[in-house]
């Protein structure tokens, strides 16, 4: 018996197909989707995809980390950090179940985005950790990527390591003695779970805020920083049942035990965003950076503290598993989450 999330996902996907596929293709869609879910996803548990990418703007970072599904290390010249991840092979082999071209196109694109989300999340865990610990902004959209599929066996980790070393020319150290900050970096990599879309959106907005601030786009940075808080408020509402009709921000800050001074700063963030970022300012357009220079630094620090608290809360109250034993089971549990996170249903009318 399928998980309720999977049944709802199938219903949603079929409803979408009714308005997006030709009539002849629509007749084949439901059967193909059922076959993919009942057979293909289970078959995919026997193989795994490897993705290796370089992080832009990560020069001179000398850090190595190896786990069963993640490798981080610089290349031999320390020109860049590379991240290798294991990800599901859901987007491979779908032709066997989707003979119709329109059906194949729709289903294969969804599972491409779904497997991509897993890979990106693992890389974003690393990017976010680097930012939190070192204040360093990087980007996975680099100029080098290797991607291949291999059978899942007892030797898959060894093959993963060999492929990583071959592609990156890295010299991995297994006896690496971490210093204090590096131990902190490992802590964050292991704790951050951007497979959870709330956590992913938190770091998307926060990392954007950091990049904008580094580029001297201070008003835009404040707007993105406030978006970070907005996502945390949504998390409090949906995951912690913290829901108020008046001041959701105040209730969220109380739920996370923020001090009165921290509450004042986060309310000030909202006010500054409203006056300069959310709407055209009525005055002092050219002087924003000068007026709020000290405020901005304090605001980033208090948001970082709130991020720590939501990461810790997610760890104790986990909804989306970070390291699943079987990706087919993980898909069953999270099918609707993936539909809402990676598919275009909600924004479709805006991109056509």
pLDDT recorded at residue 303: 97
Q: Does any domain span residue 230?
A: yes
Query: CATH no. for residue 231?
Result: 1.20.120
Q: Could you list the residue range(s) of the whole structural domain that residue 212 is in? A: 196-319
3-state secondary structure the chain: CCCHHHHHHHHHHHHHHHCCCCHHHHHHHHHHHHHHHHHHHHHHHHEEEEEEEEEECCCCCCCCEECCCEEEEECCCCCCEEEEEEECCCCCCHHHCCCCHHHHHHHHHHHHHHHHHHHHHHHHHHHHHHHHHHCCCCECCCCCEEEEEEECCCCHHHHHHHHHHHHHCCCCCCCCCCCHHHHHHHHHHHHCCCCCHHHHHHHHHHHHHHHHHHCCCHHHHHHHHHHHHHHHHHHHHHHCCCCCCCCHHHHHHHHCCCCHHHHHHHHHHHHHHHHHHCCCCCCCHHHHHHHCHHHHHHHHHHHHHHHHHHHHHHHHCCCCCCCCCCHHHHHHHHHHHHHHHHCCCCCHHHHC
Look at residue 295 in the predicted model and tell me its pLDDT. Answer: 87
Per-residue pLDDT tens, the chain, 352 aa: give them.
Answer: 668 889 999 999 999 999 999 999 999 999 999 999 999 999 999 999 999 999 998 888 888 999 989 999 998 777 889 999 999 999 999 999 999 999 999 999 999 999 999 999 999 999 999 999 999 899 888 777 888 888 888 788 888 999 899 888 887 776 667 889 999 999 999 999 999 999 999 999 999 999 999 999 988 999 999 999 999 999 999 999 998 767 889 999 999 999 999 999 999 999 888 887 777 777 777 777 777 788 889 999 999 999 999 999 999 999 999 999 999 999 999 999 999 999 987 766 545 4
| Predicted local distance difference test score (pLDDT) of residue 83 | 95
Position 175 scores a pLDDT of: 66
Domain membership of residue 288 (yes or no) is yes
| CB-count burial class (<10 Å; 0-12, 13-18, 19+) for 261 | exposed
Q: What is the pLDDT of residue 235?
A: 97
Please tell me the distance from the alpha carbon of residue 325 to that of residue 318, in angstroms, as a whole number: 15
Q: Do the domain assignments include residue 290?
A: yes
* The pLDDT of residue 348: 61
Distance CA 199, CA 193 (A): 7
Residue 65 within any structural domain of the chain: no
Residue 27 lies in a domain: no
- Asked if 218 and 292 count as a contact pair (C-beta separation under 8 A), the reply is yes
Q: What is the pLDDT of residue 351?
A: 52
Domain presence at residue 344: no
Nearest in space to 210 (alpha carbons), one of 192, 194, 189, 225: 225
98 domain residue, yes or no:
no
Q: What's the total number of domains in the chain?
A: 1
Residue 217 forms part of a structural domain: yes
């Amino acid at each position: 018996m399928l998980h309720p999330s999977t049944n709802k996902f199938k219903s949603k996907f079929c409803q979408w197909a009714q308005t997006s596929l030709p009539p002849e293709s629509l007749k084949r869609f439901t059967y193909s989707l059922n076959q993919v879910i009942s057979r293909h996803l289970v078959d995919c548990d026997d193989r795994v995809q490897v993705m290796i990418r370089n992080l832009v703007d990560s020069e001179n970072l000398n850090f190595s980390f190896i786990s069963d599904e993640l490798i981080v290390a610089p290349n031999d010249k320390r020109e860049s950090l590379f991240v290798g991840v294991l990800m599901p092979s859901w987007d491979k082999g779908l032709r066997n179940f989707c003979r119709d071209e329109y059906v194949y196109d729709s289903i294969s694109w969804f599972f491409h985005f779904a497997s991509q989300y897993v890979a990106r999340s693992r890389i974003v865990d690393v990017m976010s950790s680097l930012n939190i610990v070192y204040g360093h902004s990087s980007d996975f959209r680099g100029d080098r990527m290797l991607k291949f599929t291999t059978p899942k066996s007892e030797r898959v980790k060894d093959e993963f390591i060999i492929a990583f070393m071959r592609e990156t020319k890295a010299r991995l150290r297994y006896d690496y003695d971490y210093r204090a900050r590096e131990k902190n970096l490992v802590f964050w990599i292991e704790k951050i779970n951007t497979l959870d879309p709330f956590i992913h959106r938190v770091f998307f907005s926060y990392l954007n805020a950091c990049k904008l601030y580094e580029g001297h786009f201070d008003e835009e940075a404040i707007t993105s920083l406030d978006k970070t808080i907005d996502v945390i408020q949504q998390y409090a509402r949906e995951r912690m049942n913290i829901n108020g009709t008046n001041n959701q921000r105040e209730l969220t800050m109380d739920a996370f035990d923020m001090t009165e001074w921290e509450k004042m700063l986060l309310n000030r963030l909202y006010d500054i965003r409203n006056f300069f970022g959310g709407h055209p300012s009525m005055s002092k357009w050219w002087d924003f950076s000068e007026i709020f220079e000290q405020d901005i630094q304090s605001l980033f620090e208090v948001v970082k503290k709130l991020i720590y608290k939501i990461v810790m809360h997610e760890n104790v109250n986990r909804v989306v598993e970070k390291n699943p034993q079987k990706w087919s089971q993980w898909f069953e549990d999270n099918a609707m989450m993936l539909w809402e996170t990676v598919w275009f249903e909600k924004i479709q009318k805006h991109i056509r």
